[in-house]
């Protein structure tokens, strides 16, 4: 037994009642195994990890109790909660290492990566000579397969890509040969292809060194790729734990069942998936669309180069269909979505809506035209104006476009919209900060619908949400499109969502559409090399194979 | 994080509520409120003219007869504020209405009120001593700020409460005028210069900063150069120069302090607008085809006002200090009392008269301190990183 957590309780101070972030969690981790903690946001999985590391600020913790028994390689077991702060420092980094979600903010921007790893090495192995310590740093960087480690060791964090930075973080954690590696959503901020490489790397390192991994994630795909055993957390409690296959195929607890049923892969397939829309006339037609951002330098801000975010895209979206646009970060998919609405000015090419070329409209015509096409955003926090009530948010665009004769009529339309997105009509008189992320996203959808548009761009609308909320929003969106005959451009990086929601899929890579076609064909029989790589990298949950 | 207790409240209600939860801000606001009341009702609080008297059964109010147009304007402004407070208008509309009534009131007051040109402060005092009135109601401080009490002989530099026959709570200055009365009337200048100068610089700063932030590019480059030029101008020396050229005027002082201190506001607003432009709700407003005016003033400005208001409360404090400095140097108003000028008087006397330094100095200190307290709390309330859940 490497780590045995018994009845861990972490309570935070809050007005009169403490918040029970972790409330009586018990689990064990064996040497060399991977234990996954899964749960939705706010379930207390990160707090569990921070409690084990004792990294929580003392002033906000009201209670930290239980028993965390940790037995390092050749020592007797110790209770981490009763260690002194200086003993704990020996354990942190030395025996238990931790890596975080955001690799940019967890590296210090003013030191080279070599210096940062060296510091950790010297702290935990003070007996090593300069030469030996440096050799260890280089070995760690080679172990994590950082390309060209001899020059990269002198780079600063900002000179590396997200995946490379996460490799450096792992190298730093591994350099001290810990017995336990705690990884808190280490791949959530990364693209799927990079995620796959990092996961493989962690498994390879684990096999070589025999360390245990406590892996925290919200993604069941990742769980089924790497975990030996899984613990499911809900509101501070561990509701179920057991071997991975057993949890995924035969979940016992109702919450686990509900979570697994909410995965896009498990949502009921729509029968009308490949019903061809009756009119072959495309609603949106992009021809040779280019959006470039100039790179300016020097005193006179001369244009020295162009970033070709969208580089000659031809695309047609048929009336009534849902086209999914997939691609990794930086592929230009968000820019394309905004370019179609002319929120970002296209550099060249044409965007035709029915027969109108939007790129040729002048300012006031464009403003009137905007009611035909709307957008829903990714971030539910910043997409609603915090100073306006929901009533004002919904009715102001209607007023501008002359929908509804007077205020009362517009308010009743707004009430109707809220009902359609399954919100209480009382919500009209409240402000955005009073709603949860999922509710805000519903309001965002209601705002887009308030102008009764024919076409909506959905820009990663579910990627900030938990799976169960995501499932509800997706179902609702499909229902709305059925009722209103909407045409949607659905931008996402989640292949599971694409499969569930879309009729056709276009794959974007470096500003170009590399492949497009029916979603089934793209997902099951990808033609282009990049699509193949992308689809293969998606972590798949194995529901069928025997336990 | 949604909270039951503040359901249905607008953002500004919440922020102000949080600001004035802090005792520092409450003290600051209380002090400013006292100053404002004292300033508005100064002619009734400290005046040589009786509030009401009866002469052979005939009632008359000398204070009203001698009421200056400025005094009346202050009263009108105060009454309008009081009347507007409970109405459910938006803040902007209230401000507009207030300014309109003030403008209308100014026209009315300056055309109708014509107080006697010749002012003899002691006339009622002398008449009362001769027993000409049935009864007299005096102001709480029965001396006007420029009443040198010539009828009573040499009354200069009396310490507080040193004379039995006449009470001077804060003593008198070298000409024999009552210090408390002068301080009461000077509180208007302190408040007025703070609000007007900061108002001018805020309006200029928000407009220029907003344009820089929204349009960026060339507008931004030119605007920033303008900001840098104005930041390089030393306000105090510009003020000294203007006083030398155009004589001493409160209004010129307000305008100059106003037009030299806007760059700070412009910087704040520009930074906020640059940040807000990228926010999804601004993009959504644009995608909904809302006109530029609505995007700028309804969706962006209220979200960017937080830092500006914080800067404004510090700005009011520094404007008051600037006026006090100038008056202390003897370049302030000629005859009207101001706290800085009273400090100057304290220094000019051959021996140290503590009451002439302590009271005006304390008033300046507390006023600047009060605004800083308010600014500090406002900043804490707006800063999301400091907002506590408990």
Please indicate whether, in this complex, the C-beta atoms of B2 and A377 are within 8 angstroms of each other.
Answer: no
**Residue corresponding to tokens 């009715």:** A395
Please enumerate in sequence order all residues whose Cβ is within 8 A of that of A483, keeping only pairs 6 or more positions apart, or say none: A420
How high is the pLDDT of residue B2? 38
Q: What angle do CA B97, B99, B104 make, to 5 degrees?
A: 95
CB contact under 8 A, A367 and B291: yes
The arithmetic mean of pLDDT across residues A221-244, rounded, is 90
Look at residue A405 and tell me whether its pLDDT is greater than 70. Answer: yes
Cβ pair A495, A535 in contact under 8 A: yes
List the 286-305 stretch of B: residues with Cβ below 8 A of A. 286-291, 294, 298-299, 302-303
Q: Give DSSP secondary structure letters for A142-161.
A: HHTT-SSHHHHTT--GGGS-
Answer yes or no: do A431 and B9 touch at CB < 8 A: yes
Of A31 and A274, which is predicted with more confidence? A31
Q: Residue B4 — very low, low, confident or very high, per pLDDT cuts 50/70/90?
A: very low
The Cα–Cα gap between B341 and B335 comes to: 10
* A34-38 β-sheet, strand order: A96-99, A180-184, A212-217, A34-38, A229-234, A237-243
Please work out, in degrees rounded to the nearest 5, the angle formed at the alpha carbon of residue B104 by the alpha carbons of B102 and B105: 60
Q: Which residues of A touch B387 (CB under 8 A)?
A: none
d(CA B256, CA B236): 10
Res. B131: pLDDT tops 50: yes
More confident residue, A276 or A1: A1
Which two three-digit tokens encode residue B381?
Answer: 């309330």
Given an 8 Å threshold on Cβ–Cβ distance, is B12 in contact with A387?
yes
How would residue B170 be classed by pLDDT, with cut points 50, 70 and 90?
A: confident
Residue-averaged pLDDT of chain B: 84
| CB neighbourhood size of A287 (10 A) | 14
Q: What is the pLDDT of residue B81?
A: 86
**Strands A34-38 vs A229-234: parallel, antiparallel or unpaired:** parallel
Collapsed DSSP state (helix, strand, coil) of residue A242: strand
Token pair for A251: 């979940």
Q: B283 touching A, CB under 8 A?
A: yes
d(CA A61, CA A80): 16
The pair of structure tokens assigned to A120 is 């950790």
SS3 B348: helix
A187 close to A99: Cβ distance less than 8 angstroms: no
A100 pLDDT tier (thresholds 50, 70, 90): confident
- Return d(Cα B243, Cα B249) in angstroms, integer: 8
**Which of the two residues, A104 and B378, has the higher pLDDT score?**
B378
Q: Looking at the predicted structure, is the pLDDT value of residue A247 above 70? A: yes
Mean pLDDT estimate for chain A: 86
With cut-offs at 50, 70 and 90, classify the pLDDT of residue A278: low
Do A368 and B290 lie within an 8 Å CB cutoff? Answer: no
Mean pLDDT within B146-151: 81
> What local confidence, expressed as pLDDT, does residue B383 receive?
67
pLDDT digits (tens, 9 = 90+) for B136-145: 888 888 888 8
Tell me the two tokens of residue A454.
Answer: 């024919």
**Inter-chain CB proximity B287 and A389 less than 8 Å:** no
Q: What is the pLDDT of residue A37?
A: 92
Report the residue from B2, B284, B390 with minimal CB separation from A433: B2
Instruction: Decide if pLDDT at B167 tops 50.
Output: yes
Q: Which of A324-328, B26-30, B301-305 has the lowest mean pLDDT?
A: B301-305
pLDDT at B5: 41
φ and ψ at residue A33, rounded to 5 degrees: -105, 165
Taking residue A85's Cβ as centre, other Cβ atoms within 10 Å add up to 7
The whole-number pLDDT of residue B224 equals 92
Query: Would the ipTM clear 0.85, i.e. be above it?
Result: no
Instruction: Of B282, B290, B280, give the one whose Cα is nearest residue A368.
Output: B290
User: Which of A302, A383, A431, A439 has the most B C-beta neighbours within 10 Å, making it the best mutation to test the interface with B?
Assistant: A431
Distance of CA A255 to the CA centre of its chain: 22
pLDDT at A267 over 80: no
The lowest-confidence range among A102-111, A204-213, A410-419 is: A102-111
Q: For the purposes of burial, counting CB atoms within 10 Å of the CB of B388, is it exposed (0-12), middle (13-18) or buried (19 or more)? A: exposed
pLDDT of residue B7: 46
Closest approach of B383 to chain A, Cα-based (Å)? 15
pLDDT in tens, A162-189: 788 888 888 888 888 888 999 988 888 7
- Amino acid B390: pLDDT: 34
Q: Which residues contact B325 (CB under 8 A, 6 or more apart)?
A: B236, B340
Residue B336 scores a pLDDT above 90: no
Most A-contacting residue of B272, B287, B295 (CB-CB within 10 A), to test interface = B287
How many CB atoms lie under 10 A from the CB of residue A292?
Answer: 18
- The pLDDT value given to residue A55: 86
Closest CB to B288: pick one of A377, A382, A397: A397
Q: What are phi and psi of B271, to 5 degrees?
A: -60, -40
With beta carbons less than 8 A apart as the criterion, state whether A186 and A218 touch.
Answer: no
pLDDT digits (tens, 9 = 90+) for B69-124: 888 888 898 888 888 877 766 677 788 888 899 899 989 988 888 888 888 888 88
Nearest-by-Cβ selection for A343 from B2, B286, B294 = B286
CB B269 within 8 A of CB B308: yes
Q: Using CB atoms, pick whichever of A338, A386, A400 lies closest to residue B11.
A: A386
Residues paired with residue B272 on neighbouring β-strands, in sequence order:
none
Classify residue A86 by its DSSP letter: H
Q: What predicted TM-score, i.e. pTM, was given to this entire model?
A: 0.78
Q: Could you please report the per-residue DSSP string of A434-488?
A: GS-HHHHHHHHHHHHHTT--SEEEEESTTTTS-HHHHHHHHHHHHHHHHHHT-EE
* C-beta neighbour count of B287 within 10 angstroms: 26
Under the banding of pLDDT at 50, 70 and 90, the label for residue A213 is very high
Distance between CA atoms of residues A330 and A161, nearest Å: 12
3-state class of B342 per DSSP? helix
Each residue's pLDDT tens digit, B11-68 = 677 777 777 778 888 899 899 999 999 999 998 998 888 888 888 888 888 888 888 8
Residue A447 and residue B7: Cβ atoms within 8 Å? no
Mutation target to probe the B interface, by most B beta carbons within 10 A, among A372, A376, A380, A387 is: A387
pLDDT of residue B152: 78
Q: Is the CB of residue A342 less than 8 Å from the CB of residue A368?
A: no
Is B279 in CB contact (< 8 Å) with chain A?
yes
DSSP-based three-state secondary structure for A311: strand
């Amino acid at each position: 037994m490497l780590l045995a957590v018994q009845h861990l309780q972490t309570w935070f101070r809050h007005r009169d009642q403490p918040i029970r972030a972790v409330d009586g969690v018990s689990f064990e981790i064996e040497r060399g195994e991977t234990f996954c903690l899964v749960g939705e946001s706010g379930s207390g999985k990160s707090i569990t990890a921070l409690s084990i590391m004792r990294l929580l600020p003392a002033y906000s913790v009201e209670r930290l109790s239980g028993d965390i028994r940790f037995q390092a390689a050749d020592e007797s077991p110790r209770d981490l909660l009763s260690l002194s702060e200086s003993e704990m420092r020996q354990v942190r980094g030395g025996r238990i290492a931790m890596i975080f979600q955001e690799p940019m903010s967890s590296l210090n921007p003013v030191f080279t990566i070599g210096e940062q790893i060296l510091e950790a090495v010297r702290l935990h192995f003070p007996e090593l000579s300069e030469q030996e310590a440096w050799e260890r740093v280089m070995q760690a960087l080679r172990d994590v397969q950082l390309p060209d480690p001899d020059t990269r060791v002198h780079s600063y964090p900002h000179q590396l890509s997200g995946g490379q930075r996460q490799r450096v973080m792992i190298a730093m954690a591994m350099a001290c040969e810990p017995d336990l590696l705690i990884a808190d959503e280490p791949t959530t901020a990364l693209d799927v292809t990079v995620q796959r490489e990092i996961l493989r790397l962690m498994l390879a390192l684990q096999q070589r060194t025999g360390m245990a991994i406590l892996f925290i994630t919200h993604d069941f795909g990742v769980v089924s790729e790497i975990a030996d055993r899984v613990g499911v957390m809900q509101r501070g409690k561990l509701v179920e734990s057991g071997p991975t296959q057993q949890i995924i195929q035969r979940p016992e607890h109702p919450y686990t069942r509900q979570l697994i049923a909410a995965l896009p892969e498990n949502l009921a397939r729509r029968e009308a998936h490949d019903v061809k829309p009756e009119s072959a006339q495309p609603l949106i037609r992009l021809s040779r669309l280019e959006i470039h951002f100039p790179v300016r330098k020097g005193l006179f801000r001369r244009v020295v180069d162009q970033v070709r975010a969208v580089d000659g895209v031809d695309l047609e979206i048929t009336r009534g269909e849902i086209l999914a646009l997939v691609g990794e970060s930086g592929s230009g998919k968000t820019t394309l979505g905004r370019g179609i609405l002319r929120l970002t000015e296209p550099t060249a090419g044409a965007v035709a809506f029915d027969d109108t070329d939007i790129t040729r409209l002048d300012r006031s015509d464009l403003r009137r035209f905007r009611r035909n096409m709307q957008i829903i955003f990714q971030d539910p926090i910043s997409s609603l104006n915090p100073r306006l009530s929901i009533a004002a948010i919904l009715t102001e665009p209607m007023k501008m476009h002359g929908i509804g004769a007077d205020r009362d009529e517009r308010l009743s339309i707004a009430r109707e919209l809220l009902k359609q997105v399954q919100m209480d009509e009382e919500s009209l008189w409240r402000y955005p900060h009073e709603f949860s992320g999922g509710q805000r996203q519903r309001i965002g959808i209601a705002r887009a619908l308030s102008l009764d548009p024919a076409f909506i761009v959905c820009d990663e609308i579910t990627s900030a949400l938990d799976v169960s909320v995501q499932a509800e929003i997706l179902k609702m969106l499909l229902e709305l499109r059925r009722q209103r005959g909407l045409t949607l451009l659905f931008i996402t990086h989640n292949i599971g969502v694409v499969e569930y929601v879309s009729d056709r899929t276009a794959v974007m890579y470096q500003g170009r559409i590399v492949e497009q076609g029916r979603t089934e064909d793209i997902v099951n029989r990808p033609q282009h090399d990049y699509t193949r790589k992308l689809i293969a990298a998606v972590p798949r949950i194995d529901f069928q194979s025997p336990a | 994080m949604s909270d039951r207790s503040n359901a249905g409240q607008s953002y500004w209600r919440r922020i102000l509520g949080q600001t004035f939860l802090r005792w520092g801000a409450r003290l600051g606001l209380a002090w400013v409120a006292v100053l404002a009341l004292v300033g508005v009702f100064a002619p009734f609080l400290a005046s040589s003219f009786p509030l009401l008297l009866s002469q052979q059964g005939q009632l008359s109010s000398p204070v009203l007869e001698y009421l200056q147009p400025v005094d009346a304007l202050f009263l009108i402004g105060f009454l309008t504020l009081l009347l507007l407070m409970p109405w459910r208008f938006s803040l902007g509309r209230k401000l507009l209405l207030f300014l309109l009534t003030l403008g209308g009131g100014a026209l009315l007051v300056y055309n109708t009120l014509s107080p006697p040109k010749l002012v003899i402060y002691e006339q009622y005092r002398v008449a009362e001593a001769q027993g000409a009135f049935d009864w007299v109601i005096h102001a709480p401080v029965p001396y006007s700020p420029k009443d040198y009490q010539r009828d009573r002989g040499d009354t200069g530099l009396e310490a507080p409460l040193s004379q039995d026959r006449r009470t001077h709570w804060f003593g008198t200055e070298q000409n024999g005028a009552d210090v408390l009365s002068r301080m009461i009337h000077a509180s208007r200048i302190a408040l007025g210069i703070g609000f007007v100068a900061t108002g001018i610089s805020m309006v200029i700063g928000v407009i220029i900063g907003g344009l820089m932030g929204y349009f960026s590019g060339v507008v931004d480059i030119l605007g920033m150069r303008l900001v840098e030029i104005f930041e390089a101008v030393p306000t105090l020396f510009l003020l000294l120069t203007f006083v030398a050229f155009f004589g001493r005027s409160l209004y010129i002082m307000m305008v100059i302090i106003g037009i030299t201190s806007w760059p700070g506001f412009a910087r704040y607003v520009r930074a906020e607008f640059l940040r807000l432009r990228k926010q999804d709700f601004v993009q959504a407003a644009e995608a909904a085809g809302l006109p530029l005016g609505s995007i700028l003033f309804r969706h962006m400005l209220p979200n960017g006002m937080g830092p500006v208001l914080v800067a404004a409360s510090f700005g009011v404090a520094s404007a008051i200090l600037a006026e006090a400095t100038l008056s202390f140097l003897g370049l302030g108003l000629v005859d009207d009392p101001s706290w800085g000028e009273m400090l100057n008087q304290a220094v000019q006397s051959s021996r140290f008269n503590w009451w002439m330094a302590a009271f005006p100095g304390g008033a300046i200190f507390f006023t600047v301190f009060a605004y800083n307290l308010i600014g500090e709390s406002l900043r804490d309330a707006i800063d999301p990183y400091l907002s506590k859940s408990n």
